[in-house]
Amino acid sequence: MQSAIGNRQSAILLITLLAGLATAGEAPPPGFPDVRGIVRARAKSVVKIETTEHFLPGLFRRTVRLANPFPLRSIIGDALSFTFFLPSAVLGRLRKHVGSGVIVEADGHVLTNHHVIRDADEITVRCTDADGRKRRLKGRVVGKDKLIDAALVKAEPGKARLVTAPLGDSDQLEIGDWVVAIGQPLNLTGTVTVGIVSGRHRQLDANNIEDYLQIDAAVNPGNSGGPVFDAAGRVVGLVTLGIFPANDLGFAVPTALIRPWLDDLKTHGRPRRSYLGITVEDITPYLAEERDLDADDGVLVTRVRLLSPAGKVGFRRGDIIVSVGGKPVEDARDFQMRILRARPGTVLPITVRRDGEPLTLRPTLSRRRRPFRIF
């Protein structure tokens, strides 16, 4: 009898504590994801991508890149690419590569990395259809985006019923959230690894578009292009890079960098991003003191290109950006991403502080020019 009363009191105490937490607005921490359920639902959407590079086209591409001096920072990489390609001239006429991908549309559209399909003369997509049958499909590149290392491949499913995976919102991820990676590391098909988001907003190539997720789920060569799922089984990223020899430190292209331009990849072959024509940097206390600014945080305009959309509406060096489209700007990174995600032709109100007074400018964003390069 005493035991039953004690158990009842303990239950009442536990319920009271939980109610107190709910009243305080504190949600319980998320539990471990249902990895088995995610694998059952999504594994068939993950594909193996095999690319074949023919010798003569490959040799031509590498020779042209090596002879082309733009951009200068690629010379070493182009030289190594040329050198390592030469053994194929002696050992054979074909060069094969393997990566991963994820089916995002039932008609056969597959997301993967740009570096997986780069230089591919033939593409084969290996997958398992909804009926459990192994399929070997012919693929072709319909769109690619080198700056964020993403590409869209169209496989020809024929009568096969393909399994797709939904795209999630990577902007909702927080450090510590669970993620599941599925891919073909070291040519081992359907490998599943689990980890957490260990970092956000990582830049590896120092361009202003990269915004990678850092994950500690183990990734290895062959995982490239494979999906990263959140706890709800939605694709929130594509594995793009692992750091050798630390195979538990990887990076993924977030869906927030892919989703806005997915239609562009399908219809135009590349993303159509916006261009404003200014250079900005974060205001730090040191910078504010050095330049005698009337703010110790925010985003400072450091350069305005004369004939750019910004130059045409009167942006000036020294303007402090306050908001974009009526929403406050957090930092320079936030400002750059808002411009890039807006559509070309959009009239975007941007409020700046000039000489202590607010001023709203309304530039019409133009289309971002492609960088000059050959292949």
**Contact assessment for residue 332 and residue 284, using Cβ atoms and an 8 Å cutoff:** no
CA torsion 252→255→257→259, rounded to 10°?
150
Q: Can 263 be counted among the known catalytic residues?
A: no
**Contact assessment for residue 194 and residue 215, using Cβ atoms and an 8 Å cutoff:** no
Task: Report the C-alpha gap between 91 and 361 in whole angstroms.
Answer: 61
Q: Which of 97, 109, 114, 115 is catalytic?
A: 115
H or E element: which one contains 272?
none
List the structure tokens of 369. 């020019």
Q: Can 78 be counted among the known catalytic residues?
A: no
Beta bridge partners of 92: none
Q: Can 224 be counted among the known catalytic residues?
A: yes
User: Which long-range contacts (C-beta less than 8 Å, at least 24 apart) are formed by 284-291?
Assistant: 291/318
| Tokens 């974060």 belong to residue | 282
Q: Which of 45, 97, 114, 149 is catalytic?
A: 149
| Tokens 């594995």 belong to residue | 239
List the structure tokens of 66. 């090596």
Q: Which of 45, 100, 170, 224 is catalytic?
A: 224
Just list the catalytic residues: 115, 149, 224
